[in-house]
Amino acid sequence: MNMANDTDGTERQEIELNQVEEENEKMTLLVFSSDLDKVLGAFVIATGAALMDVQVTMFFAFWGLNVLRKDQATAGGKNFMSKMLAWVLPKGPDKLKLSNMNMMGMGTSMMKHVMKKQKVMDLPSLIKMAQELDVKFVACEMSMNVMGFKKEELLDGVQLAGVATAISEASDSKVQLFIS
């Protein structure tokens, strides 16, 4: 906002109003799914919005937590159920499957192949880009407990928060989407 004339009262007020509006330019994505197609959609929206100077918060709950998992050994000190869940659920973006047409993994591979040929960014690159664009990643604490995931098993820089945080963020945002 390049203002030549800043002495006029009305003009200054207009600037303040604009600033208030800019503060409101937030987006909250509630990522509940770990289907590859839906997560790709969420990250295309998140990075697109961040490039347009929107402050984006992605709140990952339930299956969505799988997106944030590191592809490493499972943390110790888990009970039987948590070990089973850790083993059975996809470990990070490279392991996600399409919600449709997965066809035992064939559809998912095909889709990844086509995306590469079309020079569309893959999910790991989109996640890195989102991080560089300061998209905030928040993991739902209650889901972490249910799934038995530990903080060190998730991407670095992920914050933990409860549902109240997600609701406040969504309420502050112009755009809120539930990706289920």
| 60 near a second copy, judged by CB under 8 A | no
Query: What span, in angstroms and rounded, lies between the C-alpha atoms of 32 and 20?
Result: 30
Exposure string of 24-41, with b = 16+ CB inside 10 Å and e = fewer, is eebbbbbbbbbbbbbbbb
Q: Quick one: tokens of 120?
A: 């569309």
Q: Pick one of 58, 61, 68, 123: the residue that binds a second copy (CB under 8 A).
A: 61
> Strands, E, within 2-156: which ranges?
26-31, 55-60, 136-140
Nearer to a second copy, 155 or 177 (CB): 177
112 C-beta neighbours (distance < 10 Å), count: 16
Please report how close the Cβ of residue 156 comes to a second copy at its closest, in angstroms.
25
| 54 near a second copy, judged by CB under 8 A | yes
Name the one residue in this structure whose structure tokens are 């989102």: 130
| 69 near a second copy, judged by CB under 8 A | no
Q: Strand 175-179: give its sheet, edge to edge.
A: 159-161, 136-140, 55-60, 26-31, 175-179
2 C-beta neighbours (distance < 10 Å), count: 3
Q: Which of residues 86-145 bind a second copy (CB under 8 A)?
A: 88-89, 100-101, 110-111, 113-115, 117-118, 120, 142, 145
Site string for a second copy, 5-34 (x = CB under 8 A): --------------------x-x--x-xx-
- Do residues 138 and 54 lie in contact, with contact meaning Cβ atoms separated by under 8 Å? no
Please report how close the Cβ of residue 7 comes to a second copy at its closest, in angstroms.
24
Nearer to a second copy, 4 or 20 (CB): 20
In the complex, which residues of this chain contact a second copy (CB under 8 A)? 25, 27, 30, 32-33, 37-38, 40-41, 44-45, 48-49, 51-52, 54, 61-63, 81-82, 84-85, 88-89, 100-101, 110-111, 113-115, 117-118, 120, 142, 145-146, 148, 162-164, 166-168, 170-171, 174-180
